[in-house]
Structure 1
Amino acid sequence: MMRAKLVGASLALVLIAAPAMAEDWDFVLTNDTGKTVTQVELSPAGTAKWAAQRTDEGVSSEVKNGNDWTVHFDKSKDTCDYDVRLTFADKSTVVWTGLNVCDNAFAEFSYRNGNPVIVVDDD
């Protein structure tokens, strides 16, 4: 009986100490920026902890203006809201903020009045 309590207590400590595991996640990015995207990075909103999207070796992640791209990344269990940083062929970068990846499978990245905006399709 005492052994069972020790095993149960040890298991509870392991579960408490275990880090939150990331989940495989994706969304479709539509590039309406007027430029070719060469890199997509995501960060939990407001943290600036950028991680590049996952790509298969040998597959180009270049997204020409007007095209769609499925972005694969590891989603944290802690948040659904992400900032997205796009790097363009001219080496410039722009950050779009507040994409809710839990509720939106499709997101169009563009500019309105010179400001980066994300238009989501809830379908």
Structure 2
Amino acid sequence: MHKSKYFMSAAAALVMLAGPACAEDLVFQLKNGTKSVLTHFYSSPVGVEKWEDDVFGDQVLNPGETIEITIADGRRVCEYDMRFEFTEDSDLDTTTDTQNLCELGEYTIDE
């Protein structure tokens, strides 16, 4: 009986330790407030030297549209650099910004 109590206590401690180690997905609404089609959206944690994969994949975000973005990269960071690219015929240049995605509920890219 003593061994089973010890085992249960050890198992409970492991579960409690494992809980905080799990990273949460970062979810927010991205709205295109421009008059141009947003073709690519990249995000990387602040301090990472290279942009990670295009979040949109084959999708685009048309003017006025909103899409739910989920960043599930397994990291436990909040500060992310973001890069937005528009169609070649757009008057808009590539835009970058840095945001705390843990606190961000919605982000609007404007001209």
Settle same-fold status: TM greater than 0.5.
yes
Match of 1:53, as an amino acid? V
Distance 2:95 2:22 in 1: 25
For these two proteins, the number of residue pairs brought into alignment is 87
Point out where structure 1 has 5 or more consecutive residues left out of the alignment.
1-19, 112-123
More helix by share: 2
Instruction: Report percent identity of matched pairs.
Output: 25
Residue number in structure 2 paired with 1:87: 85
Deviation digits for residues 64-122 of structure 1 (CA, Å, limit 9, x no counterpart): 11111112223421x211111112121876233221110012111113xxxxxxxxxxx
The structure 1 segments of at least 4 consecutive aligned residues displaced by more than 4 Å after TM superposition are 20-23
Task: Compute the RMSD of aligned alpha carbons.
Answer: 2.7
TM-score by length of 2: 0.62
TM-score by length of 1: 0.57
Point out where structure 2 has 5 or more consecutive residues left out of the alignment.
1-20
Counterpart contact for 2:32–2:108, Cα < 8 Å: yes
Q: How far apart are residue 30 of structure 1 and its match? A: 0.6
Query: Bigger radius of gyration, 1 or 2?
Result: 2
Q: Which has the higher contact order (CA 8 A, sep 6+)?
A: 2
